[in-house]
């Protein structure tokens, strides 16, 4: 059997661990693996490399990023290239395609599967927003980076009697903000699922000061939005793939708190630092398990499936289950975090 794999969408720690697991598992079953470069683009342009179960592959377990490269492709360009993709796969003698990516990539996988391509999906994203899986790999590593940053901001905030705003990634969901905020003992957390009222944010911070505290840490997800009619926000720009550009909500909140409370406020945007570097042990294990299970599913001919963590076990779900809607922070998780704030 000949398996192809690719990584697509924003990179995250753990992609190489999946690639390694795919190659090693395939080799153990007498199958070979090729990798397409730069995500869908490489598949459309037939840019591929043979991957061998050798020392080089063995060593990528701990490396961040993806040795295959990644990228995004406009949806129209991708769907318009389906015949070319099928021809490329057939010319290369590919029997199965393992696609590793987030919501957009898995939608692409579903599209190819519907057009007769034998596909298995592996969910990744630091945002942890893919449905039908408890966790995507990359999330734990991002939370570790954000938590470390919050720990460091505590000491400088306390020394200067400042309010520190920490803006973390999370376009549509607040998983990173919630987990890093809880792990880092943040005094306020703002997430896209619950539009915030800046007056309430200021009241909570003012209450801290009245109790004798002199500093505060607020973690805000990049996709957090003010409740309607509470605060003017500039319209977001859109990139060439139709994705909104984020990255200024922290500064806006800092400006408001500074003016309304006359406090000394600073804002830090963690940005792509959260996506770089070596994966945590949890992500290495999860990514490896996903790679092993996806390859075994491909070897068994179980196509149109996505590997997913359900409790302790890795299971197979359908593409429809994985990409139907995003996995948002549920109310019970939000409520338990709320009781610790202030």
Q: Which residues are annotated as a binding site for substrate?
A: 125-127, 162, 169-171, 222, 266, 272-275
Minimal CB distance residue for ligand F6P: 169
In the complex, the smallest distance separating the C-beta of residue 303 from ligand F6P, rounded to whole angstroms, is 26
In the complex, the smallest distance separating the C-beta of residue 169 from ligand F6P, rounded to whole angstroms, is 3
Residue partners of 31: CB distance under 8 A and separation at least 6? 1, 2, 3, 295, 299
DSSP SS3 for 33: strand
C-alpha distances out from residue 323 to 106, 121, 127, 203, 319, Å = 7, 11, 14, 39, 6
Residue position matching structure tokens 């309430």: 200
Binding site for ligand F6P (CB under 6 A): 10, 102, 125-127, 169-171, 222, 246, 275
Residue whose CB is less far from ligand F6P, 59 or 272: 272
Residue whose CB is less far from ligand F6P, 88 or 105: 105
In the complex, the smallest distance separating the C-beta of residue 168 from ligand F6P, rounded to whole angstroms, is 8
Residue whose CB is less far from ligand F6P, 126 or 309: 126
Q: Which of 11, 38, 127, 129 is catalytic?
A: 127
127 is catalytic: yes
Token pair listed for 283: 């992500």
In the complex, the smallest distance separating the C-beta of residue 171 from ligand F6P, rounded to whole angstroms, is 4
R_g over Cα of the chain: 22
Residues 222, 175: Cα–Cα separation, whole Å: 11
Residue whose CB is less far from ligand F6P, 184 or 192: 192
Phi, psi of 339 (to 5 degrees): -70, -10
Residues 272, 10: Cα–Cα separation, whole Å: 10
Known binding residues for ATP: 10, 72-73, 102-105
Task: Show which residues are catalytic.
Answer: 127
């Amino acid at each position: 059997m000949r398996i192809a794999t690719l990584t697509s969408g924003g990179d995250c720690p753990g992609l190489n661990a999946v690639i390694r697991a795919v190659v090693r598992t395939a080799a153990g079953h007498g199958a070979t693996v090729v990798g397409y470069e730069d995500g869908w683009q490489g598949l459309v342009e037939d840019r591929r490399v043979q991957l061998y179960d050798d020392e080089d592959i063995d060593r990528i377990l701990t490396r961040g990023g993806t040795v295959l490269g990644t990228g995004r492709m406009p949806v129209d360009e991708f769907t318009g290239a389906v015949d070319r993709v099928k021809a490329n796969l057939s010319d290369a003698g590919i029997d199965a395609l393992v696609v590793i990516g987030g919501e957009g990539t898995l939608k692409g996988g579903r599209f190819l599967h519907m057009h007769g391509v034998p596909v298995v999906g592996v969910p990744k994203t630091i945002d942890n927003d893919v449905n039908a899986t408890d966790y995507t790999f990359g999330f734990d590593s991002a939370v570790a980076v954000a938590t470390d940053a919050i720990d460091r901001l505590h000491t400088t905030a306390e020394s200067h009697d400042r309010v520190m705003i920490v803006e973390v990634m999370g376009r549509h969901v607040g998983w990173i903000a919630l987990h890093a905020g809880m792990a880092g003992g943040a005094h306020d957390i703002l997430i896209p699922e619950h539009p915030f009222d800046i007056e309430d944010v200021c009241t909570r911070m003012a209450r801290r000061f009245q109790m004798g505290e002199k500093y505060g840490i607020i973690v805000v997800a990049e996709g957090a939005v003010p409740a309607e009619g509470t605060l003017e926000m500039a319209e977001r720009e859109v990139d060439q793939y139709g994705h909104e550009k984020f990255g200024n909500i922290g500064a806006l909140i800092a400006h408001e708190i500074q003016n309304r409370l006359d406090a000394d406020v600073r804002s830090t945007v963690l940005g792509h630092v959260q996506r770089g570097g070596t994966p945590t042990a949890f992500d290495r294990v999860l990514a490896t398990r996903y790679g092993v299970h996806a390859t075994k599913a491909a070897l068994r001919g179980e196509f149109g499936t996505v590997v997913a963590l359900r409790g302790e076990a890795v299971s197979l779900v359908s593409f429809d289950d994985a990409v139907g809607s995003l996995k948002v922070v549920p109310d019970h998780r939000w409520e338990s975090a709320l009781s610790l704030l202030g």
